[in-house]
Amino acid sequence: MVHQNTVSIDWVNKHLEDSSIVIVDCRFQLGAPEAGRTLYDEGHLPGAFHLDLEQDLSSPVGQHGGRHPLPNVDELAVKLGSLGIDGTKHVIAYDEGGIMAARLWWLLNYMGHPGGASIMEGGYRAWGEAGFPTTSAPSTVITSTTFVPQIDTSIVIHIDELRHKLGQPGVLLLDSREAPRYRGEIEPIDPAAGHIPGAKNVFWKEGLDNQGNWRSREEQQARFAAVGAKDADEIIVYCGSGVSACPNVLALREAGYTNVKLYAGSWSDWVSYEDNPIAIGEE
């Protein structure tokens, strides 16, 4: 059984025929909801299946809960089982930049998947550039099975609990968005600009190098030490909608932190409540 949060394209290429592995293509483009499936149809890793951020890995948008609410666990479990994923299978997720694959990685951790999950470093682009095999043929499920969720509520936090913990000693709140959005200088998606009061900014993409590979444990430790993670009793991570925060959750895990929670609704949920405070600038 694999016990790594990330694996290299070389490792995946060597294990394409491994029956204990299920590969999932998570490519998706915000603003172009059909693009991910189109890219998959044009070419994907041999044997890979496709799961869509909005159709499979999120629930429908409501008044609250953010732009990408957590999916219905029972519905996602049925989808995973239909791909042959049960507790004996290790899932390899990939995309183009790390965000969507990290969403599936986090969801599988949240659902207590005993087989574990890893993200393929470098994504589909690196795979193609290495000359590894691709196909446009749809993948066939050899045997559908039953995925049994075992929800781990310790790694997620929702609005009421976050409000209660805001500003408490020992609680570190991390905003994973780009600095201009964190500071409230721009906001291209959500109805209000700024950040949750008290949050520190650690842009998720800084956890990867220029080749799309995850930085070393020491580099990840340095990123989070700079904002006081070593002194925190609890680290709460958020972004715009709970998706791009997942790479930071993984980076924190790689850095050795186990006291990490994802604010699932994130900024888009926070600003859906008119009485929630908003901060501007650096903190």
Catalytic one of 21, 239, 243, 255: 239
Say yes or no: 200 and 106 in one domain.
no
Task: Report the distance separating Cα 76 and Cα 149, nearest Å.
Answer: 9
The whole-angstrom separation of Cα 107 and Cα 53 is 11
Answer yes or no: do 85 and 158 share one domain: no
pLDDT over threshold 60, residue 14 = yes
Quick one: tokens of 96?
A: 């183009």
- What are 176's two structure tokens? 């994973």
Say if residue 67 is in the same domain as residue 184: no
The per-residue pLDDT for range 154-210, each reduced to its tens digit, is 999 999 999 999 999 999 999 999 999 999 999 999 999 999 999 999 999 999 998
Q: Tell me how far apart the alpha carbons of residues 278 and 196 are, in angstroms, rounded to a whole number.
A: 6
Residue at which a domain ends, from 116, 134, 151: 151
Residue 278 forms part of a structural domain? no
Residue 239 among the catalytic residues: yes
* CA-based R_g, the chain, Å: 18
Instruction: CATH number of the domain at 70, please.
Output: 3.40.250.10
165 is in which domain, residue-wise? 154-270
Q: What is the pLDDT of residue 1?
A: 55
Q: Verify that 139 and 30 share a domain, yes or no.
A: yes
pTM here is 0.97
